[in-house]
A and B are shown apart, each in its own frame.
Chain A
């Protein structure tokens, strides 16, 4: 029920987006945090239209598929169907976050939606939470995408500090090339590349295959991974002002194409092949963003659409195969084509789309890719042909191993709900290959945003030997060779996989997570080892920080000794008494002595307050001190013996530890107070105002008037805390009964 509701919501969203796109979009901008110049700015432009149509359109099909898939998944695992409640809300939020991200035109807003998709993906990838692999995969995905996302925020703040706005259109209009732009561009690019699973931050994506299939399909095609390239497309006019950023995009994109493609060639698990394929395919898009120009910007948008359609179809088909056969490895599957002809044909169309065969949208996306690469010199031309050949080979291997050859595992009958979405997506892919104009229009709009200038695309079939056709033929030929040379291909792929496991970034990630946890545990153990450590953990940083603050801000006459007059002659002996009592408390061995000495310290200070014209503080200090002493005495009555036990086995260095800690923190506090008293400010204006107004509020005691009137709301909050504390104690000790 929830599934179909999500599906219907996505369908409504799709229609709304479609209408908005046809109407030409529009912008909304509401104040959000005016003091920080933050606005809720949304624009439904070409880029927003493309990605929101993808998120909602693919969402409809994936959600429909998911209604059936999830039920079966839960039944197979003997889990209650009620667990669907942990699935569909996140799925729906995922779609909403993607639409929000697509339409947001404020960098901070982009950041918020960017992280929202990561949070959704965390709960969805970890949906099978009783499996350890799913939990670690979810955590990896969250960390690898959210930590770099902070770089996006840093880049946004950097731009704000220079240009005074978070609004992307305004930044596009004002930003000049320079170091700031380069650094900010790199920071934003890092966040986007991690999200799009580009080398070297790609390793979270194959692990995320632990998610249920609808999640994988959605995550890979229209959400999450697409969010990275969406941000690249959104801020591309800024990135294009720095050669460095563009070069980084090119290098990272091509490396990802190669690494993802080679690894996909050798994988055995269905979803792993597709995961590495996604890394490779988004490498294409990143490469296109690395090339500047109208052709590249339009081609990138076109590529995203076609890939989303094909990849979601492939994932849904993989899930259907696994559901029908119970197997998820190519080595145990084969020959399914005769038993499942419709699925084989639909999957074939999706595979052909990735392989860029004619009559599919893939042909045009590669045509545009080749055309853009050709403009950027021979290196990119060759690289693009090799990339396409790699794609042809791995997706060809995938389809052939799955559907041709002898039957390995007999499939059970397949529910039409699992089949229809794959067929629909395949039909869309074919339609794009026959009538590309809707996607072309969509991509031109999106490209115009990324390029900050109008973009024209004209994908079409040409029956001649123009460069793009020759490049496509070369790619197919090379890919076919690679497909035929199975031994060489597998060995190369295994070699790369082993090298990646040995030296790859995943190892560094694991090591850093384990290292951080170890440091944290060490610190925690040290801090909570005994009471002294806990106190030292507070006092030492406080003292050191205060001292550092004073050292950093030298003020003339900061530390002076004032005159002694009047009541000071009474204060001085009191302070001496406090000092002596403190020493006694530190030296004495008997518990009762310590308590009484501490009480003397407290009462002495209360007397000082009284003499310094703060009778209210003195009154409360006396009362609190009395209560504390009483509590101490009550507690002491229940302790065995009269002296604390000597601590055994203290190491030699520790003898000096406590005095050292005491000295550091004490000096810190002393310096702060001395510095403050040397230069007593005028009473701050708020206090003066309150003193002046107290009689008007019918009170002579300013403190009481402040507590009960001027700052009454604060007081109310504080006494509420008291009541809550009492309820907490009652819950812990009295099973929730106050009496």
Chain B
């Protein structure tokens, strides 16, 4: 990618594409989750899509600059832990009601309220938990692994 004579850092094309890809990838991720329970895709895939966008930004701009440009990334640890807690709650709330774990509501024969294609049920909130966790973990990993050499070309 970078020969010995080329200037350090990725080309301007990569940087621009990375920037531009961010918004569409979030849209795709949301779409994956929303229709996840009725069509292809789930929380993990959605999380990967956003994670990819974050990683691409880190590669293109350098992790620190990407984080400066997207301050929201700071909340990644909360997303990871919150996702885990949401998934845990979605799976284990039936225990409080004396049912086996992962007895999702609404139950098999009950009616599901849908907003467009999105079904409002605990299985979907479990999926959202997975999504948050994957995004959070990928972002934290990118942050941590980029730490050792701080901004080579800054």
Nearest A residue to B14 via CB reads A633
Q: Mark B75-93, 1 if CB is under 8 A from A, else 0.
A: 0110011011001100100
Please measure, in the bound complex, the distance between the C-alpha atom of A703 and the C-alpha atom of B32, giving whole angstroms. 14
Binding site for B on A (CB under 8 A): 592, 615-616, 619-620, 623-624, 626-627, 630-631, 633-634, 636-637, 641-642, 696-701, 703-705, 707-709, 712-713, 715-716, 719-720, 722-723, 725-726, 729-730, 733-734, 738-739
Please measure, in the bound complex, the distance between the C-alpha atom of A738 and the C-alpha atom of B139, giving whole angstroms. 10
- Tell whether B98 is near chain A: CB-to-CB under 8 Å: no
Chain B positions within 8 Å of A720 at CB level: 84
Please tell me if the beta carbons of A705 and B37 are within 8 angstroms of each other in the complex: yes
Please measure, in the bound complex, the distance between the C-alpha atom of A722 and the C-alpha atom of B123, giving whole angstroms. 20
Please tell me if the beta carbons of A624 and B87 are within 8 angstroms of each other in the complex: no
Please tell me if the beta carbons of A697 and B42 are within 8 angstroms of each other in the complex: no
Please tell me if the beta carbons of A716 and B133 are within 8 angstroms of each other in the complex: no
Please tell me if the beta carbons of B87 and A722 are within 8 angstroms of each other in the complex: no
Please tell me if the beta carbons of A624 and B130 are within 8 angstroms of each other in the complex: no
Q: How far is the CB of A239 from chain B (nearest CB, A)?
A: 50
- From A592, A699, A713, A738, contact of B77 by CB (8 A): A738
Please measure, in the bound complex, the distance between the C-alpha atom of A51 and the C-alpha atom of B25, giving whole angstroms. 73
Given A623-B45, A637-B10, A713-B91: A719 in contact with B130 (beta carbons within 8 A): yes
- From A616, A712, A719, contact of B101 by CB (8 A): A712
Chain B positions within 8 Å of A636 at CB level: 1
- Tell whether B30 is near chain A: CB-to-CB under 8 Å: no
- List 11 A-B residue pairs with CB atoms under 8 Å apart, sorted by A's residue number: A620-B45, A696-B108, A698-B37, A698-B112, A701-B41, A715-B87, A722-B133, A729-B144, A734-B147, A739-B77, A739-B143
Please tell me if the beta carbons of B52 and A630 are within 8 angstroms of each other in the complex: yes
- Tell whether B121 is near chain A: CB-to-CB under 8 Å: yes
- From A624, A626, A697, A703, contact of B104 by CB (8 A): A697
Please tell me if the beta carbons of B37 and A708 are within 8 angstroms of each other in the complex: yes
- Tell whether B145 is near chain A: CB-to-CB under 8 Å: yes
Nearest B residue to A620 via CB reads B45
Q: How far is the CB of B147 from chain A (nearest CB, A)?
A: 6
Please measure, in the bound complex, the distance between the C-alpha atom of A497 and the C-alpha atom of B11, giving whole angstroms. 81
Given A698-B121, A699-B37: A729 in contact with B55 (beta carbons within 8 A): no
Per DSSP, chain A at the interface is: helix
- From B2, B101, B148, contact of A713 by CB (8 A): B101
Please tell me if the beta carbons of B42 and A616 are within 8 angstroms of each other in the complex: yes
Binding site for A on B (CB under 8 A): 1-4, 10, 36-45, 48-49, 51-52, 55-56, 58-59, 74, 76-77, 80-81, 83-84, 87-88, 91, 101-102, 104, 106, 108-109, 112, 119, 121, 123-124, 126-127, 129-130, 133-134, 136-137, 140-141, 143-145, 147-148
Given A733-B144, A733-B148: A619 in contact with B41 (beta carbons within 8 A): yes
Please tell me if the beta carbons of A698 and B52 are within 8 angstroms of each other in the complex: no
Chain A positions within 8 Å of B44 at CB level: 620, 707
A642-B3, A713-B101 known, 5 other contacts, Cβ within 8 Å: A620-B45, A634-B55, A698-B112, A699-B123, A723-B80
Q: How far is the CB of B10 from chain A (nearest CB, A)?
A: 7
Please measure, in the bound complex, the distance between the C-alpha atom of A592 and the C-alpha atom of B2, giving whole angstroms. 10
- From B77, B83, B119, B136, contact of A698 by CB (8 A): B119
Chain B positions within 8 Å of A723 at CB level: 80-81, 84, 133, 137
Given A631-B55, A709-B102: A733 in contact with B145 (beta carbons within 8 A): yes
Please measure, in the bound complex, the distance between the C-alpha atom of A710 and the C-alpha atom of B143, giving whole angstroms. 34
Nearest A residue to B101 via CB reads A713
Chain A positions within 8 Å of B52 at CB level: 623, 626-627, 630
In this complex, which of B42, B108, B130 has the most chain A Cβ atoms within 10 angstroms of its Cβ?
B42
Please tell me if the beta carbons of B77 and A708 are within 8 angstroms of each other in the complex: no
Chain A positions within 8 Å of B40 at CB level: 615-616, 619, 701, 703
Please tell me if the beta carbons of B42 and A703 are within 8 angstroms of each other in the complex: yes
Please measure, in the bound complex, the distance between the C-alpha atom of A697 and the C-alpha atom of B127, giving whole angstroms. 14
- From A630, A633, A699, A712, contact of B102 by CB (8 A): A712
Please tell me if the beta carbons of B80 and A701 are within 8 angstroms of each other in the complex: no
Please tell me if the beta carbons of B134 and A722 are within 8 angstroms of each other in the complex: yes
Closest 7 CB pairs of A and B: A712-B102, A738-B77, A623-B48, A704-B42, A615-B40, A696-B108, A726-B137
